Amino acid sequence: MKLNELHDNPGANKTKKRVARGPGSGKGKTAGRGIKGQKSRSGVAINAYEGGQMPLYRRLPKRGFNKPNRKEWAVVNLSAIVKFIDAGKIDASVEITEDILVASGLVRRKLDGIRVLAKGEFNTALNISVTGASKPAVDAVAKAGGTLKTKVAVAEAAE
């Protein structure tokens, strides 16, 4: 390898097309924009404009409703809690609260509360205190010999 043998990979450098630089360039006069009309002028951005035809976003039906004050739950599965206990990131001897779950890194942030779901294997007797939980999660913790306290009623959190 010598200095005079150094070169870019093929296709790495592409020469810029110099428009409106005279007839000899092949892109002189109108610079490839055609003649007259809105698109031949500068400063034109016609997004979603279909030439007077009803635009697609207006032809499609609008359905449904997004509740502006809906609750955003941070979701945790029972299997994830067990995995963090096995890894030593959560102490099983004390009551597991939302602050402990956030501090351990299992949940990034509380949002409107943490909701426990019953996905995965669970057979550890734990005392958990969170905002909400699914009915199967409450049953699974009770079956394992622990308690799952919620601030929101189980039926209301299922909505």
Please tell me the predicted confidence (pLDDT) of residue 157.
47
pTM for this predicted structure:
0.56
Fold of 74-157: Ribosomal Protein L15; Chain: K; domain 2 (3.100.10)
Residue 143 has pLDDT above 50, yes or no: yes
Please tell me the predicted confidence (pLDDT) of residue 77.
93
Domain ranges of the chain: 16-62, 74-157
101, burial (CB in 10 Å: exposed 0-12, middle 13-18, buried 19+)? buried
Percent of the chain with pLDDT over 90: 70
The more confidently predicted of residues 154 and 32 is: 32
> How does DSSP classify residue 141?
H
Sheet with 132-133: list strands edge to edge: 74-77, 114-117, 132-133
pLDDT digits (tens, 9 = 90+) for 52-92: 899 999 999 999 999 999 999 999 999 999 999 999 988 88
29-56: average pLDDT: 89
